[in-house]
Amino acid sequence: MKRLFITAENLCILIIKLKRDCDEFIAPKKEHLDDIIFGDTKDDGGELLDYEGNSIISTRAFFLPQTEPFFEISSAKNSDFVPIEDKKKRLFYGIRPCDVKALVLMKKFFIEDGFVDIPYKQKVENSTFIALACAKRCLEKSFCHKMDAGPLAKEGFDLQLIPVSRGYLVEVGSKKGSQIIKKNKKLFSNTKTQDEKEIKQMIKNFAEKVKKIDYKRLARIMKEDKVGHKIWDDLGLRCVICSGCITLCPTCSCFSVTDRLNGDRGVRFRYCDGCPYVGFTKMAGGSIPQPLHKDHIRRFFEHKLNVDVERYGMPSCVGCARCIQTCLGNINIQKFIDEVLAS
């Protein structure tokens, strides 16, 4: 892939220009306690050009929010539903490669596989993605490099910035991206051999002494039900159903639908739901086909590590380690993977 170069100063100019063309400029910014989150910085200029670590919550929250108004109920009595469309043009700046890969997987699931989820599609189509490669690992626990999700994004971005000592290298990933380059030609220049050397060294440092996870073998073991039952039992005991994992996971896609009425009018919402909850599979009569904790965690892991390998040829765990960071019961998906592969 051909790369260009941009200085930090010129990147600032580019950002000012890009802000003019979008309704929301979603970028990493610091919140209280120095937490990094993604938020709209179009008007306040609070975006971080570069940052260490990753955001607490992934950009999934913009495409599948915790609650999302789905339909306006203009008359409950007449079953009048009017779709609430989100037509905002958003530019996402500074997304980490793990989250970019997660968005690729979510796009496959919501848009390319079977029925099309129109509300999701609309938001993706109106978005531009500028990825920011990782100069170093964000957490000791993260394992994106083992899951083929870092330090560089391979697809799913319009532009990708790769930090080097004198500025950023720029990769173009789509037509949208090359149009941005074309429009702002003067801000970019050619790369130097030294830049490429730096990147090579960066990748080398990142993945030093690291063996990629044989996810195909892992999926096979899981499919053949050869994971020791003690492992599942242990996970079941550890889970306290806090739902932190499914809230932070960039590839969790489960949801529910509910209505709120005020008289004859109201709103139909979609809200994030997930497999750890005991009531997730509960039916109207009260029966729960999967009542045990261990089955819920098993479902979570099987979806990420087995089923999506079969469906999309890659696991949908991107190694961001958000679930590991947040788990009160110390459930660690990477340890699980290592344990299964070692057995």
Partner 1 sequence: MTNEYLPKKAKIERIIEETPDTKTFVLRLKDESDGVLKYKPGQFLILSLAGYAEAPFTFASCQSKDGKFEVSVRKVGSLTNALHQLKEKEIVGIRGPYGNSLPLDKMKRRDLLFVAGGCGVAPLRPLIQYVFKNRKDYGRVEIIYGCRRPKDIFYKDEIKSWQNNPNSDMHLTVDEPDESWSGACGVVCVLLPKIKMNPKTTMVFLCGPSVMIKFAIKDVLRLGFREQNIYASLERYMKCGIGKCGHCYIKGKYVCLDGPNFSYAEMKKLGIES
**Shortest Å distance, C-beta 278 to partner 1:** 12
Distance, CA of 160 to CA of 290 (rounded, Å)? 42
Q: Which of 1, 33, 78, 211 binds partner 1 (CB under 8 A)?
A: 78
- Determine if 238 is a binding residue for partner 1 (CB under 8 A): no
- Determine if 261 is a binding residue for partner 1 (CB under 8 A): yes
- Determine if 77 is a binding residue for partner 1 (CB under 8 A): yes
- Determine if 109 is a binding residue for partner 1 (CB under 8 A): yes
Q: List Cβ neighbours of 182 (8 Å cut-off, separation of 6 or more).
A: none
Nearer Cβ to partner 1 (33/286): 286
- Determine if 266 is a binding residue for partner 1 (CB under 8 A): yes
- Residue 283 structure tokens: 């039916």
**Shortest Å distance, C-beta 263 to partner 1:** 10
Distance, CA of 299 to CA of 290 (rounded, Å)? 10
By CB under 8 A, which span of 160-168, 195-203, 297-305, 315-323 interacts with partner 1? 297-305
- Give the DSSP H/E element, type plus range, for residue 194: helix 193-206
Long-range contacts of the stretch 264-268 (C-beta < 8 A, 24+): 264/75, 264/76, 264/77, 265/72, 265/73, 265/74, 265/75, 265/76, 266/72, 266/73, 266/76, 267/69, 267/70, 267/71, 267/72, 267/73, 267/84, 268/69, 268/70, 268/71, 268/72, 268/73, 268/81
Query: By C-alpha distance, which of 114, 96, 254 is closest to 162?
Result: 96
- Determine if 259 is a binding residue for partner 1 (CB under 8 A): yes
Nearer Cβ to partner 1 (270/322): 270
- Determine if 278 is a binding residue for partner 1 (CB under 8 A): no
- Determine if 307 is a binding residue for partner 1 (CB under 8 A): yes
- Determine if 299 is a binding residue for partner 1 (CB under 8 A): yes
Q: List Cβ neighbours of 308 (8 Å cut-off, separation of 6 or more).
A: 105, 251, 314, 315, 316
- Determine if 66 is a binding residue for partner 1 (CB under 8 A): no
- Determine if 229 is a binding residue for partner 1 (CB under 8 A): no
**What number of helices (H) and strands (E) belong to the chain?**
13, 12
Would you tell me the crossing angle of helices 229-238 and 293-302 to the nearest 10 degrees?
A: 110
Nearer Cβ to partner 1 (25/120): 120
- Determine if 283 is a binding residue for partner 1 (CB under 8 A): yes
Nearer Cβ to partner 1 (45/83): 83
- Determine if 68 is a binding residue for partner 1 (CB under 8 A): no
By CB under 8 A, which span of 118-126, 147-155, 157-165, 312-320 interacts with partner 1? 118-126
- Determine if 182 is a binding residue for partner 1 (CB under 8 A): no
Size of the site for partner 1 (CB under 8 A): 49
Q: Which of 8, 16, 37, 116 binds partner 1 (CB under 8 A)?
A: 116
Q: Is 201 exposed, middle or buried (0-12, 13-18, 19+ CB in 10 A)?
A: exposed
- Determine if 110 is a binding residue for partner 1 (CB under 8 A): yes
- Determine if 306 is a binding residue for partner 1 (CB under 8 A): yes
Are 170 and 161 spatial neighbours (Cβ–Cβ below 8 Å)?
A: yes
User: Which residue carries 């003019």 as its tokens?
Assistant: 20
Distance, CA of 149 to CA of 246 (rounded, Å)? 19
Q: Which of 76, 207, 221, 341 binds partner 1 (CB under 8 A)?
A: 76
Chain residues binding partner 1 by CB under 8 A are: 70-71, 73, 75-79, 81, 83, 109-110, 114-119, 121, 225, 253-259, 261, 266, 268, 273-275, 280-287, 289, 299, 302-303, 306-307, 310-311
